[in-house]
C-alpha cells in the first residue's frame, strides 16, 4: 500500500499535505483511511459500488448530514475520496450507551431522517436479487465467515449450513416498503451531538431499500453493543425500545430475514 499512499492525486495532496493525521490500516473493507482534524481520506479499489456511493453522497448534500466530498479521483485503479469529517460522537460511545433513553430516541430520529428523503431521483436502488446472487457466490466460494455469526443461525434449531440458509433466503424474499436506506445502519455509523443527529458515515450501501433493512441492522447493533458482544455490557439498554420510539410494531419476519441475509456477507 505504500505506492498507493505515496502517490496521492494532486487535488488530494494540495488539501492534505503537511496536516497531521491518524491512519486506520486495511481491514475487512479493503480500504485505507486517514483521519485528519477536519477531513477523512478513504482509499480503496475502484469498483461500480464505490462509484455509486460517490453519486449517492453527492445527491445527499443538503438532504442529510453526511460527509461533503471535497475531492475525489480514480488513479491506478484506486478511488481516492477526501471528505469532510462528521462531528459528534458515535452512537455506541459510552456517553450514549449509558443513557439508553437518549440513545434510542436519537436512533429513532436518525431513521426518520433517512425515511423523510424523497427517493424519486435517488441514483441507487438496493437490488435483493443481485444481493442474493452475490451471497450465492460467497457461499459457493467458501467466503462466508462462520466464526462471525449469530449463535442461533447454524446448529441445533438453526440452519445446517450456509447453503441451506441461502436457499431459505431465496424462498422467503419479503415484499419491500421502499424508503431511503443507510444500508449499514449500525451504531458506529451514526453520530450525535448536542442532542441531535449530527451525521451518517460509511454510505457504501445507501440507496432505496426496504425500511426494515435498516431497522433490522440497527436493532441487532443496539443489542450487541449492549450485551457484551463487543467486550462491555451496558445495563438498561432495551433494543425493543427502538420500536416504541418509532411508534411501530416490530415485523419480526422481516427483521430476521435481513439479519440472516447479512450473515452471508
Residues labelled catalytic: 184
Angle at 208 between CA 205 and CA 213, to 5 degrees: 70
Instruction: Give the distance, in angstroms, between the CA of residue 175 and the centroid of all CA atoms in the same chain.
Output: 22
Beta bridge partners of 200: 190
Q: CB–CB of 243/216 below 8 Å?
A: no
- Ramachandran assignment for 50, one of left (phi > 0), alpha (psi -120 to 50 degrees), beta (any other): alpha
Residue in this structure with the C-alpha cell 448530514, named with its chain if needed: 65
Q: CB–CB of 246/109 below 8 Å?
A: no
| DSSP assigned state of 71 | E
Residue positions counted in the chain: 265
Amino acid at each position: 500500500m505504500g505506492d498507493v499512499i505515496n502517490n496521492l492525486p494532486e487535488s488530494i495532496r494540495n488539501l492534505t499535505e503537511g496536516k497531521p493525521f491518524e491512519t486506520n490500516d486495511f481491514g475487512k473493507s479493503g480500504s485505507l483511511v486517514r483521519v485528519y482534524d477536519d477531513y477523512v481520506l478513504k482509499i480503496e479499489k475502484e469498483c461500480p459500488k464505490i462509484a455509486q456511493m460517490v453519486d449517492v453522497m453527492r445527491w445527499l448534500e443538503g438532504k442529510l448530514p453526511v460527509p461533503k466530498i471535497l475531492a475525489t479521483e480514480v488513479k491506478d485503479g484506486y478511488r481516492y475520496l477526501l471528505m469532510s469529517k462528521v462531528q459528534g460522537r458515535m452512537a455506541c460511545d459510552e456517553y450514549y450507551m449509558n443513557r439508553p433513553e437518549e440513545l434510542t430516541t436519537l436512533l429513532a430520529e436518525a431513521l426518520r431522517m433517512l425515511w423523510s428523503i424523497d427517493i424519486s431521483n435517488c441514483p441507487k436502488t438496493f437490488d435483493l436479487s443481485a444481493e442474493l446472487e452475490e451471497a450465492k457466490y460467497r457461499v459457493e466460494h467458501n467466503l462466508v465467515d462462520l466464526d462471525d455469526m449469530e449463535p442461533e443461525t447454524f446448529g441445533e434449531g438453526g440452519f445446517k449450513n450456509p447453503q441451506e440458509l441461502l436457499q431459505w433466503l431465496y424462498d422467503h424474499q419479503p415484499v419491500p416498503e421502499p424508503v431511503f436506506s443507510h444500508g449499514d445502519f449500525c451504531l458506529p455509523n451514526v453520530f450525535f451531538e448536542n442532542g441531535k443527529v449530527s451525521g451518517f458515515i460509511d454510505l457504501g450501501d445507501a440507496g432505496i431499500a426496504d425500511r426494515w433493512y435498516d431497522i433490522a441492522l440497527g436493532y441487532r447493533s443496539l443489542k450487541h453493543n449492549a450485551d457484551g458482544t463487543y467486550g462491555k455490557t451496558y445495563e438498561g439498554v432495551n433494543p425493543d425500545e427502538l420500536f416504541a420510539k418509532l411508534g411501530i410494531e416490530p415485523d419480526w419476519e422481516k427483521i430476521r430475514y435481513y439479519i440472516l441475509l447479512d450473515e452471508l456477507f
